């Protein structure tokens, strides 16, 4: 898998500068010089007949069509001050710089917004950027206004009536700015909607001002936006605040991400860092506006680092660093392969939520997750929940749902640590936190840096859960924890297979299975969970199975007599016994799949290595030759069934290739009508423009292929 990824990434780099030419008649009036470019009618149709150099931006609001025809424009200023039309099939070279001492340049750039194609989109109703490769460095580091945006294609979009589309666009230039900095676009402040599809950033994205954002594809969007098949390969950094591989900051709107990938290092100097998104703030805490976040089939390979200075929040997440004020954040079928190192709350999928309802399902983490000051979780660092008054655990409302996920990585938190969730709930949060059908394979460690039991806690599934009676409580059901769990504070703290710490009579820990060791440096240990100030209800502690060799107390509970908590340190519950043979025999995988199907899953979920090694995954592990290396366990005795035998997948290949000679014979006939198909003004590449279309199409396909193969090894 690693070899394949290296080849694919190398091809992407090569293809981004290699071109192919196909002759076809472009539409409109030919442009051969800067003079002709500046004299264009604002609503006209034009194409480049040859490479040109532009040193002065087109000053009027251009709403027509400009076909680059596969030619190159070398710039020292943005091509357009105000763009509102269609531009396509273009290569851009040169550089654009804005300096505070140069008032004329800043004025031409409209108060500091900078982009290779356009400073701003303030006009038009259908704005299209298609098949554009930017190789120019863009720098907006000293504008006369705080309204400073820099993007490889566009600086800022501010047109509430426009739909804005970026398709098959690539940025290779370094983009530097003071405020909103993105690989393709800086800031979409207003638009009817926006779409980024099959777009790639290879350039380094740098933001140099305290309190600003930087993103691989776009920095910030405040309108309903979709991101489809987008890839970031560049390093992303910010001076202080948010940084994201695809998007730095999702504002008050709905955002959807499908099949996106980040390979770049996300390393803000200070603040929040996410592999796909840095921070989400829908400003819809009560759900009245119906804003939502949907992320599907996305993957992070880059190292994610967040740093805190002077008390700044510094969250890190493989998919999202922070989500807040949103009642509908859904993450499905995503994976993290990059190391997550946060100052504060860190999670392989989500770092931190505030006033947000979160659902994560069918996700996997394969990398180390750590926090040097706060919480670290295999899926979620801190799931705060919601304080919406209509939400209540007694009504069956869910604040957090994490299900059908696997953590393979080592988890280390300064205080709270969990194989799935490090910490959930708060004093004013509401709703149930449901953690079910998950598997933790990694070791979980709390370094015990705090001075109270509620902070120094490690759990194979959940480290800490806040509870407030009928309003909020955790339900931890049908999970498997195999990693070792450790808490290092010698004075106070707890290590548990399932729930490190809770204070709630309704907390539920049922039908979970554990192996591995428990190590707690503090005197009181509870392998099922510590309930401080409350007693677990017996019916809420059934069906669990722990190592047969366990000699530690099941729970550490407290009853209150005259308002004073009296600890019950060794309450015994009925538990099953597990041992190593349950792993190698396939029994645990079998029982897990059976439980999932009983709960409504249509088919088996877990796959186990054919050699009996317990390293289950959510998808078949296929090598480069199509051979399935693992299989579903179909019986508790360890019987394996390979769901996709290699011979069956390779046999049909000769049949599909035999008709090839017949399909190539009519080729001359099919190419003759090509000029006719381009005449109606479609976006089909014309002339040398085919080089960009073909190149970016290949890059995009390769990018999608990488996402599709993200979990093979």
Kindly report the CA angle at 38 between 37 and 41, in degrees rounded to 5?
Answer: 85
pLDDT of residue 241: 78
With residue 67 as reference, give the H or E element that holds it.
strand 65-67
The answer to which of 104-118, 290-304, 471-485 has the lowest mean pLDDT is 104-118
* Residue 631 vs residue 247, higher pLDDT: 247
What pLDDT, on the 0 to 100 scale, is given for residue 140? Answer: 76
Residue 701 main-chain phi, psi, to 5 deg = -60, -40
Six-digit token string for 657:
């290739």
Residue 489 has pLDDT above 50, yes or no: yes
pLDDT of residue 269: 65
Q: What percent of the chain stands above pLDDT 90?
A: 54
Whether 246 contacts 277, CB under 8 Å: yes
At residue 565 the predicted structure's pLDDT band, cuts being 50, 70 and 90, is low
What's residue 562's pLDDT?
Answer: 67
Contact in structure between 207 and 181 (CB atoms under 8 Å):
yes
Neighbours of 24 (CB within 10 A): 19
To 5 degrees, how large is the angle CA 524–CA 435–CA 643?
120
Question: How do residues 3-40 score in pLDDT, each as one tens digit?
Answer: 333 433 444 444 444 333 434 678 999 999 999 999 99
Structure tokens at 603: 């088919």
Q: Count the Cβ atoms, other than its own, within 10 Å of residue 689.
A: 30
Residue with structure tokens 């340049």? 105
676: Cβ–Cβ under 8 A, 6 or more apart, which residues? none
Q: In percent, how much of the chain has pLDDT > 70?
A: 81
Give the whole-angstrom CA distance, residue 46 versus residue 41: 9
What's the pLDDT band for 175 if we cut at 50, 70, 90? very high
Mean per-residue pLDDT for 601-616?
Answer: 83
The pair of structure tokens assigned to 163 is 């739909």
Mean pLDDT value across residues 576-592: 89
- The pLDDT score that the predictor gives to residue 454 is 87
* 3-state secondary structure (DSSP) of residue 531: strand
Among 315, 296, 295, smallest CA distance to 305 is for 315
Taking all residues of the chain, what is their mean pLDDT, rounded to a whole number? 83
Residue 561 CA neighbour count, 13 Å, CB half: 4
Sign of the CA dihedral running 113, 115, 119, 121 = negative
Q: Decide if pLDDT at 401 tops 80.
A: yes
* Over residues 231-259, mean pLDDT: 91
Q: Which helix (H) or strand (E) holds 429?
A: none
| pLDDT score at 608 | 85
What's the mean pLDDT in 497-523? Answer: 94
**pLDDT of the residue at 58:** 94
347-362: buried (b, 16+ CB within 10 Å) or exposed (e) per residue?
A: bbbbbbbbbbbbebbb
3-state secondary structure of 668: helix
| Per-domain residue ranges of the chain | 586-648
Assess whether pLDDT exceeds 70 at residue 665. Answer: no
Grade residue 521 by pLDDT with cuts at 50, 70 and 90: very high
Residue in 656, 606, 662 with CA at minimum distance from that of residue 634: 606
Residue 702's CB is within 10 A of a number of other CB atoms, namely 17
pLDDT at residue 181 tops 60: yes
Give the dihedral sign, CA 386/387/393/395.
negative
Question: Strands, E, within 168-292: which ranges?
Answer: 170-171, 175-177, 180-182, 185-197, 200-201, 205-207, 212-215, 218-221, 225-228, 231-232, 241-244, 247-250, 255-258, 261-262, 271-274, 277-284
What is the pTM (predicted TM-score) of this model?
0.87
pLDDT per position as a tens digit, 322-381: 998 888 899 999 999 999 999 899 999 999 998 888 999 999 999 999 999 999 999 999
Q: Phi and psi dihedrals of 477, rounded to 5?
A: -135, 135
């Amino acid at each position: 898998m690693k070899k394949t990824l290296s080849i694919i990434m190398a091809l992407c780099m090569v293809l981004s500068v290699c071109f192919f030419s196909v002759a076809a008649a472009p539409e409109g009036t030919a442009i051969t010089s800067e003079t002709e470019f500046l004299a264009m009618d604002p609503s006209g149709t034009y194409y480049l007949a040859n490479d040109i150099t532009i040193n002065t931006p087109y000053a009027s609001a251009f709403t027509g069509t400009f076909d680059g025809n596969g030619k190159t424009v070398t710039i020292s200023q943005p091509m357009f001050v105000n763009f509102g039309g269609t531009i396509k099939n273009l290569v851009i070279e040169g550089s654009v710089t804005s300096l505070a001492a140069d008032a004329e340049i800043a004025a031409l750039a409209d108060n500091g917004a900078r982009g290779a194609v356009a400073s701003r989109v303030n006009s038009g109703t259908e704005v299209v950027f298609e098949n554009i490769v930017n190789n120019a460095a863009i720098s907006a580091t000293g504008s006369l206004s705080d309204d400073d945006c820099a993007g490889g294609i566009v600086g800022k979009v501010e047109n509430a009536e426009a739909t804005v589309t970026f398709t098959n666009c690539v940025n290779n230039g370094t983009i530097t700015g003071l405020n909103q900095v993105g690989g393709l676009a800086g800031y979409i402040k207003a638009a009817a909607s926006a779409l980024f599809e099959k777009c790639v950033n290879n350039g380094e994205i740098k933001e140099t001002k305290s309190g600003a954002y930087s993103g691989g594809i776009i920095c910030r969007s405040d309108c309903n936006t979709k991101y489809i098949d987008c890839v970031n390969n560049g390093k992303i950094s910010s001076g202080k605040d948010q940084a994201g591989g695809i998007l730095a900051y999702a504002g008050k709107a709905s955002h959807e991400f499908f099949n996106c990938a980040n390979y770049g290092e996300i390393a803000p100097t200070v603040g929040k860092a996410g592999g796909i998104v840095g921070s989400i703030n829908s400003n819809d805490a009560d759900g009245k506006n119906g804003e939502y976040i949907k992320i599907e089939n996305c993957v992070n390979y880059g190292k994610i680092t967040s740093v805190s200075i002077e008390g700044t929040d510094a969250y890190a997440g493989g998919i999202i660093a922070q989500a807040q004020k949103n009642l509908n954040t859904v993450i499905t079928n995503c994976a993290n392969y990059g190391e997550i190192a946060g100052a504060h709350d860190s999670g392989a999928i989500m770092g931190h939520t505030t006033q947000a309802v979160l659902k994560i399902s069918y996700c996997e983490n394969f990398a180390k997750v750590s926090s040097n000051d706060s919480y670290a979780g295999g899926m979620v660092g801190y799931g705060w929940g919601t304080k919406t008054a209509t939400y209540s655990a007694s009504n069956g409302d869910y604040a957090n749902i994490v299900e059908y996920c696997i953590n393979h990585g080592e988890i280390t938190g300064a205080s709270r640590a969990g194989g799935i969730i490090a910490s959930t709930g708060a004093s004013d949060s509401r709703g149930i936190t449901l953690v079910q059908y998950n598997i933790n394979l990694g070791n979980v460690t709390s370094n015990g840096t705090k001075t109270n039991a509620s902070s120094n806690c490690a759990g194979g599934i959940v480290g800490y859960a806040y509870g407030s009676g009928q309003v909020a409580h955790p339900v931890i059901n049908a999970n498997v924890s195999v990693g070792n769990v450790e808490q290092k504070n010698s004075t106070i703290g707890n290590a548990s297979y399932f729930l490190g710490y809770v204070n709630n009579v309704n907390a539920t820990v049922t039908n979970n299975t554990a192996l591995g060791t428990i190590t707690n440096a503090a005197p009181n240990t509870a392998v099922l969970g510590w309930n401080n100030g409350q007693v677990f209800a017996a019916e809420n502690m059934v069906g669990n199975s722990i190592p047969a060799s366990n000699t530690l107390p099941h729970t550490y509970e407290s009853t209150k007599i005259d308002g004073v908590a009296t600890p019950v340190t060794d309450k015994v519950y009925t538990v099953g016994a597990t041992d190593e043979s349950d792993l190698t025999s396939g029994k645990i995988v079998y029982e897990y799949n059976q439980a999932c199907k009983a709960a409504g899953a249509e088919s088996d979920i877990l796959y186990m290595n054919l050699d009996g090694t317990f390293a289950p995954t959510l998808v078949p592990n296929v090598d480069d030759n199509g051979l399935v290396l693992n299989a579903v366990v179909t019986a508790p005795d360890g019987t394996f069934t390979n769901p996709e035998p290699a011979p069956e997948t390779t046999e049909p290949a000769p049949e599909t290739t035999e008709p090839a000679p017949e399909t190539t014979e009519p080729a001359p006939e099919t190419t003759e009508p090509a000029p006719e198909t381009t005449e109606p003004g479609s976006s089909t590449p014309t002339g040398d423009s085919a080089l960009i279309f073909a190149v970016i199409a290949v890059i995009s396909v390769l990018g999608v292929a990488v996402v599709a193969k993200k979990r093979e090894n």
